[in-house]
Amino acid sequence: MEKPGPVDEYISSFPKEVQDVLEKVRTTIKREAPEAVEGISYGMLSYQTYKKPLVYFAIHKNHIGFYATPSGHLEFKVELSAYKQGKGSVRFPLDKPIPLDLIARMVNFRIKENNEKYGRS
């Protein structure tokens, strides 16, 4: 039997209801970016293509922090305006539905950016 990796350990360290939310975000990212390398970086779940950042996310007390680099947030600034933000970050409150469709579109935008910059277009 395979030992759980660091991402599984990170997720399993939270209460069940938080685990469920984290797994939904994780599944969305992995569905959109199956080639991305999953890991832990800066204490967050991280996804990379071409050994370059794609997106990150982490749980906080009352929200999920989602980080799609400044360009990813700039591209979706209108849709993200309903949420508290920082440069390259957005807070999705845990007491509201997580916008998985928006996350999927942000991941796809970042895949396209990384492909154009580092690999295939």
Which residue segments constitute the domains of the chain, with CATH numbers given?
6-113 (3.90.1150.200)
The pLDDT of 31-60, averaged and rounded, is: 95
The CA distances from residue 16 to 11, 20, 22, 104, in Å, are 9, 6, 10, 23
For 2, the token pair is: 């395979």
HEC sequence for the chain: CCCCCHHHHHHHCCCHHHHHHHHHHHHHHHHHCCCCEEEEECCEEEEEECCEEEEEEEECCCEEEEECHHHHHHHCHHHHCCCCEECCEEEEECCCCCCHHHHHHHHHHHHHHHHHHHCCC
- Tens of pLDDT, residue by residue over 76-112, are 999 999 999 987 899 999 999 999 999 999 999 999 9
Decide if 35 contacts 69 (C-beta within 8 A). Answer: no
pTM: 0.93
Mean pLDDT of 28-41: 96
Mean of pLDDT over the chain:
93
Q: Is the pLDDT of residue 121 over 60?
A: no
Percent of the chain with pLDDT over 70: 95
- The label of the residue with tokens 């007491």 reads 95
User: Can you give the pLDDT at residue 87?
Assistant: 79
What pLDDT, on the 0 to 100 scale, is given for residue 4? Answer: 66
